[in-house]
Amino acid sequence: RDSPPMRAALASPRAARPATTIVRALSTAPRAPRVADGETLDVLGASKLRVVQSKVGYRTGVDALALAWFARRSRGDVESFADRACDLGAGSSGAVGLAYALSGARPARATFVEAQRDSCERLRRSVETNARASDAFDVVLGDVVEDARALLDDRKMRRAFDVVLTNPPFFEATRGTPPKNKEKKGARFGILEDGGAATIHDFIGFAKEALREDGEFFVVYPSLGRARLLAAMVAAFGDDAVRATDVFDHEGASRPSLVFARATLRGYPGDAVETSCALYQEARVGEGKRAYVDSFEMFLQRVAQAGAGV
């Protein structure tokens, strides 16, 4: 059936940006989003999240869902509180923010920020498709460089969030060869539509301003960039306020493939302790599906159950 009505509010700090779409699901009946030519409606594995993505653009990977799992696990008892979360650089799927929000026990409150206009339009449909009647989801068009002040002040995002999550561009715009596809260029290198670029420092700086005093910031990054990520986070938050967890593809893997990092304005008690986790139970063999580690699988099932009535 047709998507539920939405209210939209526009600001004009820079060519009518950022724009906010406030998503409220009016029914728990299943909704099929509009899917245009060149797009696909995809189900993200065991999470059952349904998202609209470009056939040739950036496609959501397991790292997005894994970050949401790590953040939810780190935050503790999901029965006791309802976080207000921000998915920074949400892409067209909003998978990080959706998985985190829907895995909580209480009605979800989340804001999804995306810099690319086409991706943001797909994001709106993805978020709308998965929103429950009790959820309060905002979809915002804007970047963490040119639109930072408008987002933080005009959109009242400064000191607004218990949790900020980001699966940021992994590559530096000044190194390597960016792909020609605009969406991939933005997702992987942080290259903005006006030709500028958003660096990991920009994402970290924005997150620091958006966090509440007792909030936490969560990032997933390739293990090869671990030192660069942690140096940037320590520079912004301080050495006692940053913690890292090495992420192995599977139990028994010899080296990590990703790193989860988290930070808080107040700092963490005690000395930093090296921690690690794995995503899969076994190494890949052929093209068959692999089983996730139990806690990750249970998290994805919780997300799927939350969306079962959507």
Residue range 145-203, pLDDT digits in tens: 888 999 999 889 999 999 999 998 775 655 666 656 555 545 555 555 555 677 899 99
pLDDT grade for 288, boundaries at 50, 70 and 90? confident
pLDDT grade for 24, boundaries at 50, 70 and 90? low
CA distance 269 to 97: 27
pLDDT grade for 1, boundaries at 50, 70 and 90? very low
Does residue 223 carry a pLDDT above 80?
A: yes
Q: Most distant CA pair in the chain: distance in Å?
A: 54
Instruction: Decide: 17 and 139 in contact? Cβ < 8 Å.
Output: no
Q: What's the average model confidence in pLDDT over 234-246?
A: 96
User: Which pTM does this prediction carry?
Assistant: 0.86
Q: What's the average model confidence in pLDDT over 262-278?
A: 90
- Residue 101 has phi, psi (to 5 degrees) of -65, -45
Q: What's the average model confidence in pLDDT over 34-40?
A: 92
Choose the weakest-confidence range: 3-12, 120-129, 192-201, 238-247. Answer: 3-12
How far is CA 189 from its chain centroid?
Answer: 16
Closest to 254 measured CA to CA, from 227, 215, 223, 285:
223
pLDDT of residue 83: 83
Sequence-distant (≥ 6) Cβ neighbours of residue 61 within 8 angstroms: none
Residue owning tokens 């989003």: 33
pLDDT grade for 76, boundaries at 50, 70 and 90? confident
Whole-number mean pLDDT of the chain? Answer: 83
Q: What's the average model confidence in pLDDT over 253-264?
A: 96
Residue 5, class by beta-carbon neighbours within 10 Å (0-12 exposed, 13-18 middle, 19+ buried)?
exposed
Judged by DSSP in three states, 153 sits in: helix
The reply to whether omega before 18 is within 30° of 0 (cis) is yes
Judged by DSSP in three states, 185 sits in: helix
- Residue 163 has phi, psi (to 5 degrees) of -140, 130
Sequence-distant (≥ 6) Cβ neighbours of residue 280 within 8 angstroms: 249, 250, 251, 290, 291, 292, 293
